[in-house]
Amino acid sequence: MINKVVNNAQDALLGVENGMTFMLGGFGLCGIPENCISELVRLGVSNLTCISNNAGVDDFGLGLLLKKHQIKKMISSYVGENEEFERQMLSGEMDVELIPQGTLAERCRATGAGIPAFYTPAGYGTEVAEGKETREFNGKMYVLEHAFNPEFAFVKAWKGDTAGNLIFKGTARNFNPMMAMAGKITVAEVEELVEAGELDPNQIHTPGIFVQRIFQGKDYEKRIEQRTVTPKS
Amino acid sequence: MALSKQEIAQRIAQELQDKWYVNLGIGIPTLVANYIPKNIDVVFQSENGMLGMGPFPIEGEEDADLINAGKQTVTILKGGSLFDSAMSFAMIRGQHVQLTVLGAMEVSQNGDIANWKIPGKMVKGMGGAMDLVASAENIIVAMMHTDKSGASKLLKRCSLPLTGVNCVKKVVTNLAYLEIKNNAFYLIERAPGVSVEEIKAATEGTLIVEGEIPEMKF
């Protein structure tokens, strides 16, 4: 079996340069590649275009890259929880492209699936569709949306094996599987790295073919954004 | 008396049908889950990748890997399932989810909805709202009939940037339950104690009143 293992985040991010386009998995702070983000901060690469559903919070997730002005452009569906983001967006320091969440997901999937573009009903008749091709199918209007072209995709899984197979947990799956498919180089960080053969092939969410580098992550904070509970009765 | 937010949610819950899969937006729509009629089974879809969303976890059992689309910690019910974002929106666009309930800043009499952007203010993004409204067979909008200054939010044409066009068929406000068809708002029910005249005065769009309009029942 092909071995995809690298020692750490530092080795996993070899080849990362200024001006590149990255995909980063996660929904809010759930399922984000914490180790890769820390390493991007350490490397100090800048002028980045980041494709990620959200932009983290001020002091965690992609917020850490924002704080150091490493991001030139964000492509997201919702960016509401971050004051520094707002400041940089309103001052024009950073570009933001907001796209519907399902369109974002499908554009990621299309990227990895060899589909250059597809029609979706989302955003028809709104400013999201401005300047885009539209077409009628069976009496309903659709907008043409294109695949991305990222140099790297950074994803985070619960378990992975040395062959790059990944299993996600709970709603931490979110955008990670499609982004894993889409990266020219896909880096997977996992909470638990095991030998090939230890994961049940029936349970694999992302087959190892989509993963070029995998490493055992460390020091996961897994911060909760909105802690909502039912009081003990 | 105009309805409270809880009562708006309660009235919307009466529209739920047995065996429906339902996506609830953030705000008033989330409250609908508290009023599901006893005799029916519905399943809540959370667009970040879950079917069978349950209540908030018991204190101490929160799981950072199990959240809803509002980033709140939740639980998953027996028979629930987990999936990625592309599959989640395949469910939505593919009309496997029977009902979407969401909030709005404005709705127009042709069924347009605006709920994601106010020019000049910080734009947070549309999240999944555009995908949901472009695809759902049934969309119920939960909203206040007027803004804080008393201006109508049920309009001839939306003034804010649109989230979707010709898609809203039902609206439940603090004053009324209305259906949208034939380029007009049809008044179906009044909030208890609210007169047709009050609703007319609060509706900028064309309001059709046919016969006696009953009060909502709870």
Query: For the segment B84-129, what is each residue's pLDDT rounded down to a tens digit?
Result: 999 999 999 999 999 999 999 999 999 999 999 998 887 899 999 9
* B1 — pLDDT class (breaks 50, 70, 90): confident
pLDDT at B120: 82
Q: What pairing do the DSSP bridges indicate for beta strands A166-167 and A152-161?
A: antiparallel
How far is it, in rounded angstroms, from Cα B85 to Cα A109? 10
Interface with chain A: mutation pick from B50, B59, B115, B130, highest number of A CBs within 10 Å:
B130
B135 vs A121, A225, A228: nearest CB: A121
Does A81 score more than 90 pLDDT? no
Which residue of chain A comes nearest to B113, CA vs CA?
A126
The rounded distance, in Å, linking the Cα atoms of A210 and A198 is 19
Instruction: Name every chain A residue with its beta carbon within 8 A of the beta carbon of B62.
Output: 224, 227, 229
End-to-end CA distance of chain A: 52
Question: CA A232, CA B147: separation in Å to the nearest integer?
Answer: 38
Name the residue among A100, A173, A226 with its Cβ closest to that of B49.
A173
Q: Which residues of A touch B165 (CB under 8 A)?
A: 124-126
Mean pLDDT of B64-89: 97
* Closest to A170 measured CA to CA, from A152, A182, A156: A156
* A210 conformational bin, left if phi > 0, alpha if psi -120 to 50, beta if neither: alpha
A8 — pLDDT class (breaks 50, 70, 90)? very high
Q: Could you report how far apart the first and last alpha carbons of chain B are, in Å?
A: 14
Could you give the CA distance from residue A140 to residue A119 in angstroms, rounded to a whole number? Answer: 11
Edge-to-edge strand list for the sheet holding B138-142 = B75-82, B50-54, B42-46, B20-24, B99-103, B138-142, B170-172, B176-181, B184-190, B207-208
Are the CB atoms for B170 and B178 separated by under 8 Å? yes
* Whether complex ipTM tops 0.95: yes
Least Cα distance to A156 among A71, A30, A70, A62 occurs for A30
Task: Check CB contact under 8 Å for A103 and B130.
Answer: yes
CA distance to A16, A100, B19, B153, per residue, from B111 (Å): 47, 19, 26, 13
| Percentage of the residues of chain A whose pLDDT score is greater than 70 | 100
A110 φ, ψ to 5°? Answer: -60, -40
- Pairing between β-strand B50-54 and β-strand B42-46 as defined by DSSP bridges: antiparallel
**pTM (2 d.p.):** 0.97
pLDDT digits (tens, 9 = 90+) for B138-188: 999 999 999 999 999 999 999 999 999 999 999 999 999 999 999 999 999
The whole-angstrom separation of Cα A179 and Cα B131 is 19
Dihedral, CA of residue B69, residue B73, residue B76 and residue B82, to nearest 10: 50
- b/e sequence A53-79, b meaning 16+ C-beta within 10 Å: bbbbbeebbbbbbbbeebbbebbbbbb
DSSP class of residue B153? S
Q: Return the SS3 of A192.
A: strand
Tell me, yes or no, if B47 is annotated catalytic: yes
Nearest-Cα distance to chain A for B49, in Å, is 6
pLDDT digits (tens, 9 = 90+) for A15-69: 999 999 999 999 999 999 999 999 999 999 999 999 999 999 999 999 999 999 9
Within chain B, strands assigned E span 20-24, 42-46, 50-54, 75-82, 99-103, 106-108, 113-114, 138-142, 154-155, 170-172, 176-181, 184-190, 207-208
Across the range B22-40, mean pLDDT stands at 94
Average pLDDT over residues A146-164: 98
A125 φψ region: left (φ > 0), alpha (ψ -120 to 50), beta (else): left
Distance CA B169, CA A27 (A): 30
Asked if the C-beta of A103 comes within 8 angstroms of chain B's C-beta atoms, the answer is yes
Please compute Rg for chain A using Cα positions.
18
> Residue B194 — very low, low, confident or very high, per pLDDT cuts 50/70/90?
very high
